[in-house]
Structure 1
Amino acid sequence: MAKIIKLSETITVGNETLHELELDFNSLRGLDLLEAEKEARALGDESVMLTLSMTYHAAVAAKISVLSYDDVINLKGDDFTKVTNAVFAFLMGKG
């Protein structure tokens, strides 16, 4: 399942200008989730339940999109919220 997020403003990643962001949940593997957990922990996230952590959500989003973690966390607030909410919904089985 892929989720398309319409961005409120265009962003440039490399040489590509994006008006929307595809989150490819079908490409996600357990290893990706474990790597995202390690990244979140290395960034200082001490959440007991990572499924509630926006740091973890951003790390997961970076795994399933063309964006890096830094790109994800630098999205406008409403776009960041759309992306992290989509990841949260997926992790909770609602995606």
Structure 2
Amino acid sequence: MTERSTLADRIAVTVRDVPGVSALHAGALGEAVTLLPGRRVPGVRVGDDAVEVHLAVSDSRPVRETADAVRTAVTTLTDLPVTVVVEDLADDVPTA
């Protein structure tokens, strides 16, 4: 496994554990991904000079606080600049 794939996977796991994150989000056109041999890591884009994290957040949590918590969590994994993009709000009310 390459450093890039390991980082993308570690970021994905870390972000999913942040309170208020409903899911990683691949973007409106599926462009927010890290492409790896034989697979993709949706919602995480690891580049040579930056990291982008795209996600859906819970509508019951403050969006800015959730995005800041994601940025803080990801910066513990890399020295690259981290951009967090909130793509969607997820309704926490379960449907029948």
Same fold (TM over 0.5): no
When Rg is computed on C-alpha atoms for both structures, the one with the higher figure is 2
More helix per residue: 1 or 2?
A: 1
Task: Flag the structure with more relative contact order, 1 or 2, with Cα contacts below 8 A and sequence separation at least 6.
Answer: 2
TM-score, normalising length: structure 2: 0.28
